[in-house]
Amino acid sequence: MDLDAYFASELDQHAAVLGATREAVREPFARLVAACVAAVKGGYKIVFFGNGGSAADSQHLAAELAVRYKQDRAPIAALALTTDTSALTAIGNDFGFDDLFARQVEAACKAGDVVIGISTSGNSENIIRGLDAARKLGATAAGFGGRDGGRMRGLADPFLVVPSDDTARIQEMHITIGHMLCGALELELGLL
């Protein structure tokens, strides 16, 4: 294996997806920031959920908002629906994995909240059901996706779709976009 060639190829792929993502998510990103600012100013919260690496991103981003991103500041109400092992296992056992997030959204969310489902494929049934539950409650059902958007297209709005078929590249953009969301909220809310 030519490690130097592999190294360069990975970074070249990352750069190409970054360039495509810049244009693809500019407008929905601005709308997501506006929705989150309105929610926080209104006393509502931002909720994240996803599976696997997207679950980790959900926890990461909720922590950045609730604790701090760039500097010490007032906390932003945020949580991840991927952290409570008792709820996750009870819902999975009693209702099924497909209802993992919908059940928690129904319990913890209300109109005015922003609920962000993260899925690289856009087709995860538990993400779809969680976003549907958020919409039924009157919350903003937003999403981070990839590929062609999958079944989340038309359900999540704002919907930030990374134009790539490579899961690793999509995840890299999701955390970048998530960090940008955290930074934009700190700036827009005047918390810095």
161-185 residue pLDDT tens: 999 999 999 999 999 999 999 999 9
- For residue 192, what pLDDT band results from cuts at 50, 70 and 90? low
CATH architecture for residues 3-188 = 3-Layer(aba) Sandwich (3.40)
* Domain ranges, ordered by start, for the chain: 3-188
Pairing of strands 78-80, 114-118: unpaired
Helices (H), the chain: 3-41, 53-66, 85-94, 100-108, 125-137, 167-188
Mean pLDDT, residues 142-148 taken together: 98
What is the pLDDT confidence band of residue 190, given thresholds at 50, 70 and 90? confident
Q: What is the model's pTM?
A: 0.97
